[in-house]
Amino acid sequence: MLMSQRIGSLIRVAGASRQKHTLPELPYEYNALEPVISREIMSLHHSKHHATYINNLNVAEEKLAQAQAKADTNTILNLLSAIKFNGGGHINHSIFWLNLTPCKTVPSCPFSQAVEKDFGSWDNLKNQLSTASVAVQGSGWGWLGYNKQMKKLQIATCQNQDPLQATTGLVPLFGIDVWEHAYYLQYKNVRADYVKAIFDVANWNDISQRYEKALK
């Protein structure tokens, strides 16, 4: 029900505005996250995979606008899966790039306190998020999110490109992309090594800011 309501909202927004989505620039070079993530992976992931989600989303929203103008309900419904998949891919990756940094960062005091309260320790947070991310069957994402109703941090996973907030209601703070295109060229089939290493380039400044914004 939650997903249906949010997809409905997405359709209304898409129909009301036809401003096209564009590929966001990275705040660092493709080779900046080495050796954790190679230049080749970053280049392909950003310029090819993310760009494809955006292009397909723009096409789907254009078709949606045409279908809405004709009150073509069957076509509108048929477009839902493309909008969900490609829109989710765009949302997820736009967060993912900012969740990463080549610079050394530290979490804010409010976020650190929340981690201690909800997980007991940083090691517990990392272990639980890593375990959940590695265990995703097929393709998907591991997430640290904020539950506004329960006022606590929470770990969740999403299949494919399902966006966290639209799927679960959790506010996304830190996402780990466990699609094979995010790591296979470098880590082969050892997803666990990739997930463990990604914490070395986590942007705790960005994650902390997302947490503090979610509190408002």
Calculate ∠ Cα 35-40-41, nearest 5°: 80
Q: Which structure tokens are listed for 186?
A: 């470098």
Q: Which of 95, 21, 91 minimizes the C-alpha distance to 57?
A: 21
Q: Which of 100, 98, 68, 95 minimizes the C-alpha distance to 83?
A: 68
Known binding residue 93? Answer is yes
Residue 23, classed as helix, strand or coil, is coil
| Residue with the two structure tokens 């090594």 | 193
Known binding residue 50? Answer is no
Known binding residue 49? Answer is no
| Residue with the two structure tokens 């477009």 | 79
Q: How many CB atoms lie within 10 A of CB 123?
A: 9
Distance CA 98, CA 202 (A): 9
Distance CA 10, CA 167 (A): 13
Distance CA 84, CA 138 (A): 18
Q: Is the CB of residue 107 less than 8 Å from the CB of residue 208? A: yes
Q: Which positions make up the binding site for Mn(2+)?
A: 45, 93, 177, 181
Q: Which positions make up the binding site?
A: 45, 93, 177, 181
